[in-house]
Amino acid sequence: MKHSRLIIIILMLLNIGYYAQTNKKEVTKTKKINNGNTKITNVTTYDFSTDSNKYYGNNAAVELEPGVWGTFSGDGDENGEINDKDKNIIWRKDNGTIGYKAGDYNVNGGVNIDDRNLFWRKNKGKKSQVP
């Protein structure tokens, strides 16, 4: 699998403040800090792939190829932890299927042994550091 495409996420700045969190499918979740109006005042582009310091926490990113950074894969249930549930409940159910499933840890459109051995196993025990 090639990891050369840049992950560029466009964030909408809200006049009430925001923080952004991405999941393995590169979907951005923007959460309100208070109950104010969500009027869009500006748009900015932020490229997470250029350096590990673009991520919150210590050792929160992995170098996918020289100079290209990304998030850890293997958190199939998206609970912030890569653990046995992601293998036993998510990956086993999806194994052998085609499509971008929760157990497709390398996001190549199919779930197989590589998702478990090359991605889940390598990242088992890692946790999200997002507060």
Identify whether residues 93 and 66 lie together within a single domain.
no
For tokens 């991405």, the residue is: 22
Q: What is the pLDDT of residue 31?
A: 40
- How many Å apart are CA 12 and CA 43, to the nearest integer? 5
Same domain, 26 and 48: yes
For residue 47, being part of any structural domain is answered with yes
pLDDT of residue 15: 43
β-strands 40-47, 8-14: how paired?
antiparallel
Q: Tell me what pLDDT residue 116 has.
A: 97
21 in any annotated domain? yes
What residues pair up with 70 in beta bridges, in sequence order?
62
Pair of tokens at residue 66: 């020289």
Query: Three-state SS string across 21-51, please?
Result: EECCCCCEEEEECCCCCCCEEEEEEEEHHHC
pLDDT band, very low/low/confident/very high, at 119 (cuts 50, 70, 90): very high
Which residue range forms the structural domain that includes residue 110? 84-123
55 and 12 inside one domain = yes
My answer on whether 55 and 17 are in the same domain is yes
The model's pTM: 0.67
Q: Between 13 and 17, whose confidence is greater?
A: 17
pLDDT in tens, 35-94: 444 444 555 667 888 998 888 888 888 888 899 888 889 999 989 899 999 999 999 999
Token pair 């996420």 is found at 9
